[in-house]
Amino acid sequence: MLFFRFDKWHTSPLDNRQYACDVIRELDSRSNRGVVLELGCGLGDIIGKIKYKEKYFFDISISALRAAKFLQITSFKRTSNFYEVFDFLIDYLDEKVRLDAIILVNWIHAYEPQVLREKLSDMIKVNLRPNGMVVFDVIENNLNYKFNHSISELIDKDLFDIKMSKGHKFGRKLVYATLK
């Protein structure tokens, strides 16, 4: 933290975040584990642990990305990793990138659902492969968050098979949406 100068809240151990462990377990259980993108990856605790061939570490913080890259280099894993400063609300993913999974957890509650839905819909149409999965979290009825979201506010539920996990801190529910 002192060397890379990222925010202290990034240092919470993975074992303290059951939702992150659940995301890793779910994504590792899939048969199509080619290409994954995590938006808001922080230090790469989730994306760095899953077993995919190609990983896109995207975050708005250059400091967090530098630390994530250092942590992955020191792990000696055989994957193709890409690191990019990326603002989900402004930037666009190259249309040539085809994804088997997109992860957006633990940050979307600071943004309006209409804006998230529009940007996510574009990424799904252009970049998500058939049978690809989008993983995000919803928090309902918690006044400590700027925005509380429902699934239907963020994606077109008719396009996906939806699986949810509940029971996480702060009323967090993980959504695993597989494109039909």
Q: What is the pLDDT of residue 2?
A: 47
Q: Which residues contact 111 (CB under 8 A, 6 or more apart)?
A: 89, 146, 147
CATH topology of domain 8-179: Rossmann fold (3.40.50)
Q: Which residues of the chain have pLDDT under 50?
A: 1-2, 6, 10
pLDDT, tens digit, for every residue of 95-144? 999 999 999 998 999 999 999 999 999 999 999 999 999 999 998 788 88
Over the Cα atoms of the chain, what is R_g?
Answer: 15
Q: What is the pLDDT of residue 50?
A: 95
| Token pair in block for residue 86 | 């990326």
Q: What is the pLDDT of residue 169?
A: 80
| Token pair in block for residue 98 | 């085809």
Q: Taking the domains of the chain in order of start, what are their residue ranges?
A: 8-179
